[in-house]
């Protein structure tokens, strides 16, 4: 059993045709335990709203996608309990607090955060937090 923290860039690939979508779908296999800060729901909803606003999807489809995410077995953790760690990570890495919430959770559960955000991955991969990080395409378990 593998423990993964998923960010919104990965969750989006479960519902929209995007590069690395097949790789992201592997995370939904029962052999993986998925985690996320509760902030994931806010970030994901904002991504869906942007697609509706740009008329890439209809509002009704947006509602269905939002509901579908809530059916995925992801254990969410209160973002507030991660803020101190996320802040310290942000100061050390120059990554946003939002992104560092995911990393802080990966550290807490001793798992790895999976991302499809290349900028974030490239910023963290060479440093001391690399062991808590995974690129979505590299999941071959």
28-85 per-position pLDDT tens digit: 999 999 999 999 999 999 999 999 999 999 999 999 999 999 999 999 999 999 999 9
Phi and psi, residue 78, nearest 5°: -60, 125
pLDDT at 141: 54
Q: Rounded to whole angstroms, how far apart are CA atoms 47 and 37?
A: 16
Q: What percent of the chain has pLDDT over 70?
A: 99
pLDDT at 138: 86
For 69-131, the DSSP string reads HTTS-EEEE-GGGGHHHHHHHHHHH---HHHHHHHHHHHHHT-EEEE--HHHHHHHTTSTTGG
| CATH fold of 2-138 | Rossmann fold (3.40.50)
Q: Rounded to whole angstroms, how far apart are CA atoms 12 and 10?
A: 5
Judge contact between 133 and 127, C-beta under 8 A: no
Computed over every residue of the chain, the mean pLDDT equals 94
Torsion of CA 45, 81, 10, 15, to 10 degrees: -30
pLDDT at 63: 98
Q: Is the pTM of this model over 0.85?
A: yes
Count other C-beta atoms under 10 Å from residue 22's C-beta: 10
């Amino acid at each position: 059993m593998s423990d993964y923290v998923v960010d919104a860039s990965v969750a989006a690939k479960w519902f929209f045709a995007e590069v690395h979508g097949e790789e992201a779908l592997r995370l939904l296999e029962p052999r993986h335990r998925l985690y996320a800060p509760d902030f994931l729901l806010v970030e994901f909803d904002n991504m869906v709203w942007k697609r509706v606003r740009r008329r890439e999807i209809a509002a009704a489809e947006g509602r269905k996608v939002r509901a579908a995410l809530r059916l995925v077995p992801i254990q969410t953790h209160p973002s507030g309990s991660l803020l101190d760690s996320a802040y310290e990570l942000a100061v050390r890495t120059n990554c946003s607090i939002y992104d560092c919430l995911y990393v802080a959770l990966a550290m807490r559960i001793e798992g790895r955060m999976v991302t499809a955000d290349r900028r974030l991955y490239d910023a963290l991969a060479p440093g001391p937090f690399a062991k808590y990080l995974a690129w979505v395409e590299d999941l071959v378990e």
